[in-house]
Amino acid sequence: MNADAIKKPLPDSPLVAAYLADLEHALAHSADREEIVASVREHIIDALDAGQHAPEAVRTILHELGPVERIAREASGSAAEPESRTATWGNVAATVAAFLSLILVFILPFVAVPLAFGALVAGLVTFPRGSSRRRAVDWLPILISAASLTITLLGALFFLPAGDPVPAGPALEQSVPAATVQN
């Protein structure tokens, strides 16, 4: 680490301050947090040393550094993205359950409804929140299970009888055999 860079003040930029604060937060459980943050701070100071303190130059330097999550992943030595595997497998399971419920709607609707509700809940739980990485695949279990529940509801409304199921009057009397009278 360059001792001169540590002595130089950091440019008074809210972007740099926010970036370094986010980096410290992302490295909260890292033993090398202070060293990594100091190294990134030194890089920013060296890059801005050429007198480029304009906001656009700061944005360019921070963009070249990349997201703080990537720096934290590289510092921890893991190349995989955090929690993306579990969310993906949860989403796959929810999608399979939703497709199965959609098929079972026509065969066993009483099994399809609880399965569709389960797929809907699983789809909502595995849906990525606060992320710009939403894909069409993330919506599949939610949309398919909602379609399955809608088809079941429409089928129930269409196939259930709308009138009085018990025949009235003469039809009931004709179905009962008359008693024979003997003299």
Classify residue 55: in a domain, yes or no. Answer: yes
pLDDT at 171 over 70: no
Q: Which of 35-39, 72-76, 91-95, 167-171 is the least confident region?
A: 167-171
Contact between 58 and 16 under an 8 Å Cβ cutoff? The reply is yes
Residue 44 lies in a domain: yes
Answer whether residue 59 shows pLDDT above 70.
yes
Which one has a higher pLDDT value, 170 or 48?
48
> Does a structural domain hold residue 176?
no
Q: What percent of the chain has pLDDT over 90?
A: 16
pTM for the full predicted model: 0.44
**Where does a domain end: 56, 76, 96?**
76
Check whether residue 88 and residue 153 sit in a common domain. Answer: yes
In a domain, 146, yes or no: yes
Residue 65 lies in domain? 9-76
Which pLDDT does position 86 carry in this prediction?
Answer: 47
Last residue of a domain, one of 17, 51, 76: 76
- The answer to whether residues 66 and 97 belong to one domain is no
Query: How does the average pLDDT of the chain come out, rounded?
Result: 76
Give how many domains the chain has, as a whole number: 2
pLDDT classification of 96: cutoffs 50, 70, 90? very high
- Residue 2 belongs to a domain: no
Statement to judge: residues 115 and 131 lie in one domain: yes
Are 19 and 48 found together in one domain? Answer: yes
Mean pLDDT, to the nearest integer, of 141-159?
90
174 in a domain, yes or no? no
Higher pLDDT, 164 or 91: 91
Instruction: Please check whether residues 111 and 92 belong to one and the same domain.
Output: yes
Give me the pLDDT at residue 125, please: 86
Average pLDDT rounded to a whole number, residues 112-133 = 81
Residues 17 and 52 in one domain: yes
Give the amino acid at 94: A
Q: Which residue has the higher pLDDT, 67 or 173?
A: 67
Last residue of a domain, one of 20, 51, 76: 76
